[in-house]
């Protein structure tokens, strides 16, 4: 996959995650802590989106210097498809469902950010993308803490290989 298209896929995921979190912040406005967390996560996703867009602009000036990126995921990434399905549905998830979906979305996005083949394309860009991807672990931790505070049971999950490589 062309590096520019790879970064577009990342950017698209970030924007849809931002939209989802902002929707959740409004949907759960009566729960001040949940609404505040979703609002913060939405803002952070928007910042990551902006940084990826900046990287895309820098790369567009010299696209020919970059090799293609081997991308294991589908195009569009599965996580993006799942987020769009949620946003396009009429169903309003419960707080429990929103937290669980958000954790799943964070894991899917982290896998895209931690693409090992990106190192073959550009070591510097790989570091930037991996560092942005580390935010997902922090987001999942915050979501899990909210779940515990609300008495929402979550299954302990093994650390994905892609995320382990980023840490």
Residue 37 predicted with pLDDT over 80:
yes
pLDDT at 64: 64
Total tally of structural domains belonging to the chain: 1
pTM for the model stands at: 0.82
Are the beta carbons of 114 and 162 closer than 8 angstroms? yes
Range of the domain at 157: 3-166
pLDDT in tens, 45-77: 999 899 888 888 877 776 666 665 555 555 557
How far is Cα 49 from Cα 83, in angstroms, rounded to an integer?
Answer: 16
pLDDT in tens, 77-124: 788 999 999 999 988 999 999 999 999 999 888 777 666 666 666 666
Are the beta carbons of 99 and 131 closer than 8 angstroms? no
**For residue 60, what is the domain's CATH number?**
1.20.1260.10
């Amino acid at each position: 996959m062309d590096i520019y298209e790879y970064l577009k896929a990342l950017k698209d995921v970030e924007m849809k995650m931002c939209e989802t979190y902002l929707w959740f912040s409004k949907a759960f406005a009566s729960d001040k802590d949940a609404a505040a967390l979703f609002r913060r996560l939405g803002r952070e996703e928007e910042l990551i989106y902006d940084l990826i867009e900046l990287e895309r602009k820098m790369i567009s000036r010299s696209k020919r210097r970059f090799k293609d990126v081997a991308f294991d995921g589908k195009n569009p990434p599965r996580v993006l498809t799942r987020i769009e399905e949620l946003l396009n549905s009429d169903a309003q998830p419960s707080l429990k469902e929103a937290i669980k979906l958000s954790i799943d979305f964070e894991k899917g996005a982290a896998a895209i950010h931690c693409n090992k083949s990106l190192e073959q394309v550009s070591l510097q860009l790989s570091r930037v993308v991996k560092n942005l991807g580390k935010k997902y672990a922090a987001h999942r931790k915050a979501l899990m803490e909210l779940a515990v505070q609300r008495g929402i049971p979550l299954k302990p999950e093994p650390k994905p290989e892609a995320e382990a490589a980023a840490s």
